[in-house]
Amino acid sequence: MPTSPDSVTHCPPEAGQARKRLAPSALNWLGVVPFFLFALLFLILPTATLMIGAFQDANGHFTLGNIAKLFDDSILSAYWISFEVSAASALGGSLIGLLLALAAIQGGLPAWIRPTLMTFSGVASNFAGIPLSFAFLSTLGRMGLVTVLLRNYADFDLYSTGFSILSFIGLTLTYLYFQIPLMVLIVTPAIDGLRAEWREACESLGGSSVAYWWHIALPILWPSILGSTLLLFANAFGAVATAYALTGSSLNIVPILLYAQIRGDVLHDQNLGYALALGMIVVTGLSNAGYIWLRSRAERGRE
């Protein structure tokens, strides 16, 4: 067989080449070693430790106590607030992101809008943690630029309305900053998948623009939209750095509670921390699974 490496090695003039041909496959494996090492050290091992730790007491004995504690009122309420912030930022992010992407792709805007939006979204969807919190504090914080401008020039005291950047609304707003661009990025391929002929076929059959969106485009996009919203939810649910950097311990959400358990202050209970983390993994895992399932459904319908 001409393609088998053996037959090539039997052929003297090409022997050197054959060695070169074999080498890349070994090199390829060598190339992915760092990835597997990384995954092992920072993903698989910690997850395993965490899953085991969640079922152990401080002395290493098996217990369901940590899991039971998750159902304490204070912890349940932390999960609930996390859930609310994540859901609000996911719903808001997916709605605004969808409209933004639709406008940029199908709105008949100048051609440069789309790549600009995509580049911005690529950057902004990764903007999180301390820099993002700092940016929001310095615009919408008590002494933030926008707050001050509103007070001085529009005679409007944002904080008199009960607004606080350290609150539910504040955190949701901050999360939206990366949720919207993330939605733009993941829903764009689905919108690109809407074929011009569907609209034309609809028109020639007497359907209006509204009929097209209602009967054709939205039903086709629907699994993608729902799936993306789940992904956004998972993304917000796991976002610990931004939450902590922004609100410190003033807002009782799971990532912060978790951080408190691990950091080693008064609350310190490492195994409870593991259980908290396990709960987060379950929630984000479920919504990610939902995302993947819906995405495959969306792809299956394509001709």
Partner 1 sequence: MAYLTINNLHKRFDDHVVVHDFNMSIEQGEFVTFLGPSGCGKTTVLRMIAGFETPTSGHIRVGGEDITHQSPQKRGIGMVFQSYALFPNMNVTQNIGFGLKMRKCDGAEIARKVAEVIKLVELSGKENHYPHELSGGQRQRVALARALVVEPRILLLDEPLSALDARIRKNLREQIRDIQRRLGLTTIFVTHDQEEALTMSDRIFVMNQGRVEQEGRAEMVYTEPATEFVARFMGNYNLLGAAETQRLLGLNINGHMAIRPESIHVLDAHSQQADTLAGTIRQHQLLGNIIRYQIESAGVTLQVDRLNRTASDLMPAGTEVRLQISRDDMREVR
- Sequence-distant (6+) residues with CB within 8 A of 170 are 136, 140, 163, 164, 246, 247
Nearer of residues 165 and 217 to partner 1, judged by Cβ: 217
Nearer of residues 150 and 216 to partner 1, judged by Cβ: 216
236 and 179 Cβ atoms separated by less than 8 Å: yes
Quick one: tokens of 114? 């789309």
Nearer of residues 75 and 202 to partner 1, judged by Cβ: 202
* Tokens 């707003």 belong to residue: 173
- Residue 283: its H or E element: helix 270-300
Nearer of residues 113 and 211 to partner 1, judged by Cβ: 211
Min dist. Cβ of residue 236 to partner 1 (A): 29
Min dist. Cβ of residue 218 to partner 1 (A): 9
Instruction: Output Rg (C-alpha) for the chain, integer angstroms.
Output: 26
The helix-helix angle for 73-106 and 254-263 (nearest 10°) equals 130
127 and 184 Cβ atoms separated by less than 8 Å: no
* 110 near partner 1, judged by CB under 8 A: no
Min dist. Cβ of residue 191 to partner 1 (A): 15
Round to whole Å and give the CA distance between 291 and 294. Answer: 5
Among 34, 73, 112, 302, binds partner 1 (CB under 8 A): 302
- Sequence-distant (6+) residues with CB within 8 A of 238 are 255, 280, 284
Min dist. Cβ of residue 232 to partner 1 (A): 23
String of contacts with partner 1 for each residue 181-220, x by CB under 8 A: --------------x-xx-xxxxxxxxx--x---xx--xx
- Sequence-distant (6+) residues with CB within 8 A of 96 are 176, 180, 183
Nearer of residues 61 and 300 to partner 1, judged by Cβ: 300
Round to whole Å and give the CA distance between 143 and 136. Answer: 11
- Count of residues engaged in binding partner 1, rule: CB under 8 A: 21
Q: Which of residues 217-246 bind partner 1 (CB under 8 A)?
A: 219-220
Min dist. Cβ of residue 219 to partner 1 (A): 4
* Tokens 């610990």 belong to residue: 240
Min dist. Cβ of residue 300 to partner 1 (A): 7
Residue 56 three-state SS = strand
Min dist. Cβ of residue 299 to partner 1 (A): 10
Min dist. Cβ of residue 188 to partner 1 (A): 19
String of contacts with partner 1 for each residue 47-86, x by CB under 8 A: ----------------------------------------
Nearer of residues 61 and 302 to partner 1, judged by Cβ: 302
Round to whole Å and give the CA distance between 241 and 37. Answer: 25
Nearer of residues 129 and 193 to partner 1, judged by Cβ: 193
Nearer of residues 49 and 208 to partner 1, judged by Cβ: 208
Round to whole Å and give the CA distance between 246 and 134. Answer: 7
Q: Which of residues 112-171 bind partner 1 (CB under 8 A)?
A: none
The residues binding partner 1 (CB under 8 A) are 195, 197-198, 200-208, 211, 215-216, 219-220, 300-303
